[in-house]
Amino acid sequence: MAAITLSHILKTYGAGAKANTVIHDLNASIADGEFVVIVGPSGCGKSTLLRMVAGLEDISGGTISIGERVVNDLEPAERDIAMVFQNYALYPHMSVFDNMAYGLKIAKRPIEEIKARVDKAAGILELSHLLQRKPRELSGGQRQRVAMGRAIVRQPQVFLFDEPLSNLDAKLRAQTRLEIQKLHRELGITSLFVTHDQVEAMTLAQRMIVMNGGHMEQFGTPEEVYNRPASTFVASFIGSPPMNLLKRAPGTPAGQILGIRPEHLDITPTPNAGGWTLTADTVELLGAERLVHARLGEEILTLRLDESVAPPQAGQSFHATPRADRLHWFDAQTQKRIN
């Protein structure tokens, strides 16, 4: 295992007037044994950053260290990493055993050691009964476990995951998330996990890097990112439904944006001090909770209600009060948090 240090990382394609910078002066330190998720929308630079750590992309500036070594000029095979890809990258003509053992065979490890490592990884991932099958005989979730097993047998210092759950259906994604959490608890290997899915980020990460347009918007625990977003981008990207961001709500100072999570708006039978009168547009039933989409003047906002609260009907006016201790304030010009 090893810590990862990213210092002033820069990635630029092209030169001169045509230069396109996709990673801007990024700094982050990942502790030995930590599970860090890099999350952001398509095109934000998250996969590029992971590929630079892996050695699959050159860096334009800064240093990447794994453990005590600066790895900028090292080939991927020299970095002591293992990578799990979105598309599994399994050899279709090989058995599960041979897929998992392939890297060790290339490294000319002894046969007894290869078998012991594969058997151990297969036991952890519940693949022991599938070792002689071919990838075409496996489900998507089983193929992904084989890909993880191939990484485990390498016994690397660092695991790199590039959107490994994207090809799975919702049920398998949830199941595989639990398996990855369990795997990290058992192995404790430093891990970087890239995803565009905020649910994966929130449930898997010990800390998360939120990226936008090649910039690191925030680096913190899921609780910190959700409860104290550093910018309006983070507030709107993390959380489903996202935080309400209001420029013209009553009591909002000029030049500021008020943020309030949908679950921190309480419906009241009568107007309260600091409360608002809203008009319901639509109501969505989501099992044990309901989402009410409403208008406050020209602004649209969402409330999250549990099943004990009767929702208003579409077109009906109602009263709601934001919880004073749950208000977020952002600068309208910089979009950064100010409280």
Instruction: Report pLDDT digits (tens) over 241-271.
Output: 999 999 999 889 999 999 999 999 999 988 8
Angle at 83 between CA 134 and CA 186, to 5 degrees: 90
For domain 242-338, which architecture applies?
A: Beta Barrel (2.40)
Structure tokens at 91: 């050899």
Residues of the chain with CATH 2.40.50.140: 242-338
pLDDT for the residue numbered 168: 82
Contact 162, 47 (CB under 8 A): yes
Residues of the chain with CATH 3.40.50.300: 4-234
- Condensed to tens digits (0 to 9), the pLDDT of residues 286-330 reads 988 999 999 999 999 999 999 889 999 999 999 999 999 999 999
Q: Please tell me the CATH code under which domain 4-234 is placed.
A: 3.40.50.300
- Condensed to tens digits (0 to 9), the pLDDT of residues 17-57 reads 888 999 999 999 999 999 999 999 999 999 999 999 999 99
Nearest to 313 by CA among 253, 263, 267: 267
Nearest to 286 by CA among 300, 299, 301, 302: 302
